[in-house]
């Protein structure tokens, strides 16, 4: 089940059957997402391999902008936003429907499908993670099968 793939110095690199469940996040600009534009203080990383939307935003010294870089939008799936960092150091303006909340790290926000929302960093540094619980039953099946088949081999 477990095989030695290569030996570097004294370090044995093994490749286990679940290797493909680990993905490298790649840098993809915010502007590639509808209703978003690039902003200097955010670096965005995306997990291309996962069967759902998983974006990680590295925020460095955010400053309130005259124009929001994220416009209110809506999805037909639930979304989760997570603010990670030193306690209180990162602040986002979170719009849920007609209401705006100023939320500091560390916090998680549940955004039900169909609710208008927007998330904009306004102050500080940390990480902002956005996960969409896409209805990807077909993609999930394919994704899960890879691990399953490897287990069988
Ligand atoms: Zn959204």
What is the CA(112)–ligand 1 centre distance, in A?
10
Residue 16: per-residue pLDDT: 73
3-state secondary structure of 27: strand
Q: Over 70: is that where the pLDDT of 144 sits?
A: no
Smallest CA-to-CA distance from 28 within 13, 18, 19, 38 is with: 38
Half-sphere exposure of residue 5: CA atoms within 13 angstroms, side-chain side: 8
**C-alpha to C-alpha distances, 134 to 11, 28, 78, 112, nearest whole angstrom:** 39, 19, 7, 12
Q: 86-90, 116-120, 138-142, 145-149 — which is least confidently predicted?
A: 145-149
Does the predicted model carry a pTM greater than 0.85?
A: no
Higher-pLDDT residue of 36 and 135 is 36
Residue 94: per-residue pLDDT: 96
What would the two tokens of residue 26 be? 């790649």
**Domain boundaries in the chain?**
23-136
- Taking a C-beta distance cutoff of 8 angstroms, is the pair 38, 54 a contact? no
What is the CA(143)–ligand 1 centre distance, in A?
23
- Taking a C-beta distance cutoff of 8 angstroms, is the pair 83, 93 a contact? no
pLDDT class of 19 with cuts at 50, 70, 90: confident
What is the CA(134)–ligand 1 centre distance, in A?
11
Higher-pLDDT residue of 16 and 31 is 31
Listed residues: CB within 5 A of ion ligand 1 = 79
What is the CA(96)–ligand 1 centre distance, in A?
10
Q: Over 80: is that where the pLDDT of 9 sits?
A: no
What is the CA(126)–ligand 1 centre distance, in A?
19
Just give the CATH number of 23-136. 2.60.120.10
Task: Give just the sign of the alpha carbon dihedral 95, 113, 57, 69.
Answer: negative
Residue 47: per-residue pLDDT: 93
pLDDT class of 153 with cuts at 50, 70, 90: very low
**What's the CA gap between 85 and 125, in Å, rounded?**
7
pLDDT tens figures, 76-123: 999 999 999 999 999 999 999 999 999 999 999 999 999 999 999 999
- Taking a C-beta distance cutoff of 8 angstroms, is the pair 41, 60 a contact? yes
Q: Read off φ and ψ for residue 98, nearest 5 degrees.
A: -95, 0
Q: Over 90: is that where the pLDDT of 14 sits?
A: no
- What is the percent of the chain where pLDDT is above 70? 80
- What is the percent of the chain where pLDDT is above 90? 59
What is the CA(36)–ligand 1 centre distance, in A?
10
What is the CA(37)–ligand 1 centre distance, in A?
13
**What's the CA gap between 54 and 128, in Å, rounded?**
11
What is the CA(70)–ligand 1 centre distance, in A?
9
The secondary structure of 132-152 as a DSSP string is: E----HHHHHHHHHHHHHHHH
């Amino acid at each position: 089940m477990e095989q030695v793939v290569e030996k570097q110095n004294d370090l044995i690199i093994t490749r286990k059957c679940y290797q493909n469940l680990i993905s490298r996040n790649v840098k993809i600009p915010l502007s590639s997402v509808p209703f978003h534009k690039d902003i200097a203080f955010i670096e965005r990383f995306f997990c291309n391999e996962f069967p759902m939307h998983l974006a990680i935003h590295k925020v460095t010294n955010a400053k309130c902008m005259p124009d929001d870089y994220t416009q209110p939008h809506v999805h037909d799936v639930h979304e989760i936003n997570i603010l990670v960092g030193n306690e209180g150091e990162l602040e986002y303006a979170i719009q849920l429907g007609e209401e705006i909340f100023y939320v500091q790290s560390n916090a998680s926000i549940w955004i039900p499908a169909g609710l208008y929302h927007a998330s904009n960093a306004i102050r500080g540094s940390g990480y902002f993670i956005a996960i969409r619980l896409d209805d990807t039953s077909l993609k999930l099946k394919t994704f899960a099968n890879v691990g399953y088949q490897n287990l069988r081999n």
